[in-house]
Amino acid sequence: MAKISSERGLNGSGAENNDEARVVAFSSYDALSARPSNSLWQDAWKRLSRNKLAMAGLVVVILLALMAIFAPWIARYEPDHPFYDSTSPKPYNEQNYQPPSLDHFMGTTGQNYDLWARVVYGSRISLSVGLVVQAIVLLIGLPLGLIAGYFGGWLDSLIMRVVDIFRAFPYLLLALLFLSIFGSSIIWVYIAIAVSTWPIMTRIVRGQILGLKHKEYIEAARAIGVSTPRVLLRHILPNLLGPVIVAVSFGIPEAIITEAFLGFIGVTGDPSTPSWGRLIAEGRDAFQSNPPTILIFPCLMVVLTVMSLNFLGDGLRDALDPKQGGGSKSR
């Protein structure tokens, strides 16, 4: 029912009964096959590149990634090199919190560190958290979702009860608890955020498989005796890629936000770690009597990163899953 109506929506015809709808569907199929055959990915890239916001997001994301990779060349100073102007007659401890200048694009922090250098090195932490966390989430969530969705039965019940328990935890609480047990090194930050967010991936994958596993081509594959691992790998996994990519692309900014908040509370790294959350916390303590740029710049970096990733993720969703986007701009 829903499928027919969406087909009708796609080719814009007002076919009133099933026969007519099928005719229309066939004619549009002819039209499709007449066109040079593109793979799904080429089509998706075409749709994505037409979306201006998504492309803007992509450019910013690439710039941020370059900034993180080439941090030592871009930062100009070491992030933990106490910097002070030797020509100034002021004593050392009065030079804290310099306003932005040509020497210090973003000013300096309380320990006379160059804020720009710290922000640049902080991008390494934030981006790596986003990527590694989602990699771990994939490693845990994807197999569990596959098993729960495809095999069903008691395995499904067991996995879903565990997912229920994790769902009832606000994930921030779990990550916080985790970090206070295992200490605040970056590895545990990755694991803490991943462990508290994997159920989202499991639910998405399981839901997709429940819809997929009764499709005709899956049953056909099983009927001709294709082995279960092969069905999973060759027939189900490729169909999952779209939704999983979208979930990952929205999960990365989510992980970055979580890491920033954990740093803000002060449970990640140590005070000298240049993570954006730590910088924000330092700015919060100091901005009332000092240049507010100390707080504004780290905040803006978090917002810029998360926003460009979300723009990209939104475009990816429209490009990979045109049905779910419900009439995106590109259509």
- Closer CB to another protein, residue 201 or residue 257? 257
SS3 at position 98: coil
Q: Does 316 bind another protein (CB under 8 A)?
A: no
Residue 269 in 3-state DSSP? coil
Range in contact with another protein (rule: CB under 8 A) among 41-49, 85-93, 138-146, 280-288: 280-288
252 binds another protein (CB under 8 A): no
Verify binding: residue 173, another protein, rule CB under 8 A.
yes
Give Rg (Cα) of the chain.
25
The tokens of 241 are what?
Answer: 């890629």
Cα 300 from Cα 308, distance rounded (Å)? 12
Query: Tokens 């790294």 sit at which residue?
Result: 269
Of positions 26, 29, 169, 217, contacts another protein by CB under 8 A: 169
38 binds another protein (CB under 8 A): no
Q: Which of 34, 35, 37, 168 binds another protein (CB under 8 A)?
A: 168
Eight-state DSSP code of residue 120:
H
Site mask, another protein, residues 138-157, x = CB under 8 A?
Answer: -------------------x
Residue 114: strand, helix, or coil? strand
Dihedral sign (CA 276, 66, 99, 97): positive
Helix axes 293-320, 52-69, angle to 10 degrees: 130
H or E element at residue 207: helix 186-212
- Binding of another protein by 286 (CB under 8 A): no
By the rule CB under 8 A, 222 interacts with another protein: no
Binding residues for another protein, rule: CB under 8 A, are: 5, 8-9, 53, 157, 161-162, 164-165, 167-173, 176-178, 180-181, 183, 253, 257, 260-261, 264-265, 267, 280, 283-284, 287-288, 292, 295-296, 299, 302-303, 306-307, 310-311, 314, 324-327, 329
